[in-house]
Amino acid sequence: MAPFQDNYTIKLHDTDAAGILFFANQFRIIHDLYESFLGEIGFGFRECLDRREFFIPIIHAQSDFKKPLMVGDVVTITLNIVNIGQTSFKITYRLVDQSGKLTGTAETVHVTIDPANKAKIDLPDNLRRQLDKWVTTD
């Protein structure tokens, strides 16, 4: 299966006073793609919140900036599931500009928890099956 990806145009509100992508906004941009991905595989946030069977908080996040992004730059963001464990999964992200240059990378680790007591639980089988379809060797 092809990796999950989408394009994003850097907007003025994404940048800092120097007109460069503000560091925290790289996380917001990749999280938007993550939300789209969850919706695509049948686990949109609204559905998960309404059902309250499990939540999927982020327990680790990191990013690197390889090249400045400015207002109007268009990047393709690619999401890859790279590891699925008993209670968690890891996603990597690559941001590439229109010339094909890597502009940034990010990684998030997500864990499934019981909404009532916030304790870790095993990944639900239906979520695991959907994530398995997208595993890559990043």
- Residues with catalytic roles: 16
Pairing, β 58-65 against β 74-84: unpaired
Asked if 26 and 32 touch (Cβ cutoff 8 Å), the reply is no
Token pair belonging to 48: 């998960």
CA-wise closest residue to 90 among 104, 78, 79, 75: 79
What's the helix, strand, coil split of the chain in %, to 5? 25, 40, 35
- How many whole angstroms separate alpha carbon 113 and alpha carbon 34? 18
- How many whole angstroms separate alpha carbon 64 and alpha carbon 46? 30
